[in-house]
């Protein structure tokens, strides 16, 4: 039940309000833990960062191989090499319906 005592606020007769949690934790930890823990965590984090940076290989991202302009040029070259023109492709993709036709009303009706 040591952990319960660690987080349990002690009553202070001089102060009526409770301390914030971080101040209470710092007050309860022994001095040597505060002096050793932060540098130890910093060293472990730094060593881990550089070790992972050295060991791991950067992942290849395929969309970064070519620029957007190069991708556009390749797409346009494919479209130009293809036998269908843009209008034929539009006619093939867009269905013919009575709504597409702009006939208007005849003057006789």
Q: How far apart are CA 104 and CA 109, in angstroms?
A: 11
Q: Tens digits of per-residue pLDDT, 68-102?
A: 888 888 888 887 777 666 677 777 777 666 565 55
Q: Tens digits of per-residue pLDDT, 30-67?
A: 776 767 887 888 899 999 999 999 998 877 777 767 78
What is the CA 33 to chain-centroid distance, rounded? 36
Question: How many domains is the chain built from?
Answer: 2
On whether both 54 and 67 belong to a single domain, the answer is: no
Closest CA to 21 of 6, 34, 31: 6
Would you say residue 107 lies in a domain? no
Mean pLDDT confidence for 6-12: 59
pTM for the predicted model, two decimal places: 0.32
On whether both 72 and 92 belong to a single domain, the answer is: yes
């Amino acid at each position: 039940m040591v952990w319960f005592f660690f987080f349990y606020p002690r009553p202070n007769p001089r102060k009526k309000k409770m301390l914030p949690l971080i101040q209470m934790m710092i007050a309860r930890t022994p001095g040597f833990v505060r002096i050793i823990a932060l540098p130890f965590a910093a060293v472990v984090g730094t060593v881990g960062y550089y070790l992972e940076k050295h060991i791991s290989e950067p992942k290849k991202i395929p969309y970064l191989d070519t620029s957007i302009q190069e991708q556009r040029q390749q797409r346009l070259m494919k479209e130009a090499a293809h036998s269908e023109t843009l209008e034929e492709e539009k006619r093939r993709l867009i269905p013919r319906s009575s709504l597409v036709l702009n006939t208007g009303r005849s003057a006789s009706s």
